[in-house]
Amino acid sequence: MDSSPPSKPTFMERLSALMGREPEDREQLIAQLHAACERNLLEADVLSIIEGALQISEMQVRDVMLPRAQMDVIRLDDPIDEIAAFVIDTAHSRFPAVGENKDDVAGILLAKDLLRYFAGREFDLRAMLRPAVFVPESKRLNVLLREFRVSRNHMAIVVDEYGGVAGLVTIEDVLEQIVGDIEDEYDLDDGGDNIRLVRPGRYRVKATTEIADFNTAFATELADEEYDTIGGLLMHRFGHLPQRGETLAVDGLHIQVLRADTRRVHTLLVERAGVPPEIVGG
């Protein structure tokens, strides 16, 4: 006779037992998943990921793309030293390379490919370009994600119904709809300063920086009665949740959104003319 203790039911067995019967539609499925979470059969983070994965099948590229007007591109006719400086300043890892205008996309430049130029080796910009991938605005995000995985591309150029460039989309834009915020090249270390010098007169600022600290660093007098953080104040000034690349003039400062998702603003680029401010704690 087998005296070994009975094996514990697997997660899927427990979840199936909780559901009782097969859900008839997506809403019923989500309701049952929430019930499982309330009974500690499903962690909240896992539930969020499942909901995100279900959501992207109903979303289109146009819902998450970076609009054409906010695209940072390099121009093939520009001197290579100017292109290199632009790549450093914007700090992206990939750039559409264009000819006469943004509709004339010749390929994608990877920032790491500029290492040849900085190493003093022969550098042919056009030869270094990777092929650009073009997708329609109407493409479903789950389909795009599958294509990104198969092709190993991380960026696609979005085109409208007339064949013109409408914007761009990255694999990160899609994944963030599933798992939430993903740290990238714009993130500051959690333990680091909220305000960090990039170069004289230019600073990278966490949107969670308290307005009082921001005022001290930049000698501004922004009111903090209604909002605690600079990100909250900017959202009020914009009148909407701003997207990456949007800019605003505030008290003599030029503020650009470096990083934002569908939930909140994360990182800002702050510039002003004249002598750069003294950084608090820097």
Residue 199 β-bridge partners? 202
Amino acid type, 193: D
Picking from 7-16, 86-95, 260-269, which range would have the lowest pLDDT averaged per residue?
7-16
CB atoms within 10 A of CB 24: 8
CATH 3.30.465.10 fits domain 195-272:
yes
Q: 55-80 pLDDT, tens per residue?
A: 788 888 988 888 888 888 999 999 98
Residue 207 clears pLDDT 80, i.e. is over it: yes
Class for domain 62-179, per CATH? Answer: alpha beta
b/e map 193-213, b = 16+ CB within 10 Å: bbbeeeeeeebbbbbbbebeb
Domain ranges of the chain: 25-58, 62-179, 195-272
Q: Strand pairing of 155-159 and 165-170?
A: antiparallel
Torsion angle (degrees, nearest 10) of CA 147, 148, 149, 153: 130
Q: 102-123 pLDDT, tens per residue?
A: 999 999 999 888 888 888 788 8
Helices (H), 114-257: 115-118, 125-128, 141-151, 171-179, 211-218, 230-238
Contact 95, 72 (CB under 8 A): yes
Assign 16 to helix, strand or coil. helix
How far is Cα 265 from Cα 248, in angstroms, rounded to an integer?
A: 14
Q: 151-202 pLDDT, tens per residue?
A: 888 999 999 988 899 999 999 888 887 776 655 544 544 445 788 887 778 8
User: What value does the mean pLDDT take over residues 81-98?
Assistant: 87
Average model confidence (pLDDT) across the chain: 80
